[in-house]
Amino acid sequence: MYLSDLTNNELATYLVVRPGEGSVEGALPPILAYGGFWLMVDEAHIATIASHPDWRGCGLGLWLMLALLDRAMARGATVSTLEVRAGNRSARLLYEKLGYQVAGVRYRYYRDGEDGLILTTPPLDGPAMRERMTMVRAAVVEKLMRRFVIASST
């Protein structure tokens, strides 16, 4: 899927989060988080998102989701959808913060029998979503600054 998305699929957009230039001398800085979406007409379907296990809880997941939604809107998306395992608590909380709501259930969707939830946002360019994104952006910037200033001074 990754290979096809990165080489052939014009409807796919992927982003990665790396530390700033020069943080790892002579090497491309490592990827701390990555995610992507498929644009289907006006719907941005989040295909995947993950942050490095060592860097979870620092705000990178939210930061990346905001960046994906920004790109999606720039490409004409008016709504975003995704699928998540019912038991994936951290991912569900992350999506909830961004305004995603449960729109449907795919019972026993995964091979191990777990249900899949279909989540969707309110209209991306509506006032509710805009306000939420502004609030989340401000909070996550503060969190990232706090975390990364602390990390670089220890």
Ligand X SMILES: CC(C)(COP(=O)(O)OP(=O)(O)OC[C@H]1O[C@@H](n2cnc3c(N)ncnc32)[C@H](O)[C@@H]1OP(=O)(O)O)[C@@H](O)C(=O)NCCC(=O)NCCS
By annotation, the residues acting in catalysis are: 83, 95
- What is the pairing mode between strands 33-40 and 12-17? antiparallel
The neighbour count for residue 150, using CB atoms within 10 Å, is 10
Give CA–CA dist 68/34, Å, rounded. 10
Q: Does 98 bind ligand X (CB under 6 A)?
A: no
Q: Does 15 bind ligand X (CB under 6 A)?
A: no
Kindly state the smallest distance separating residue 27's Cβ from ligand X, in Å.
23
Q: Does 61 bind ligand X (CB under 6 A)?
A: yes
Looking at 88, 102, 114, 126, which residue binds ligand X (CB under 6 A)? 88
Q: Which residue has the tokens 């530390």?
A: 19
Looking at 11, 50, 73, 102, which residue binds ligand X (CB under 6 A)? 50
Q: How many residues bind ligand X (CB under 6 A)?
A: 19
Q: Does 94 bind ligand X (CB under 6 A)?
A: yes
- In single-letter form, the type of residue at position 36 comes to G
Say which residues have a Cβ less than 8 Å from residue 152's Cβ, sequence separation at least 6: none
Query: Please, are residues 39 and 50 in contact by the beta-carbon 8 Å criterion?
Result: no
Kindly state the smallest distance separating residue 68's Cβ from ligand X, in Å.
11
Q: Which residue has the tokens 């090497």?
A: 27
Kindly state the smallest distance separating residue 12's Cβ from ligand X, in Å.
16
Could you give the string, one character per residue 20-49, with x where binding to ligand X holds by CB under 6 A and - elsewhere?
-------------x---------------x
Query: Please, are residues 62 and 51 in contact by the beta-carbon 8 Å criterion?
Result: no
Interface residue list for ligand X (CB under 6 A): 33, 49-51, 56-62, 84, 88-91, 93-94, 97
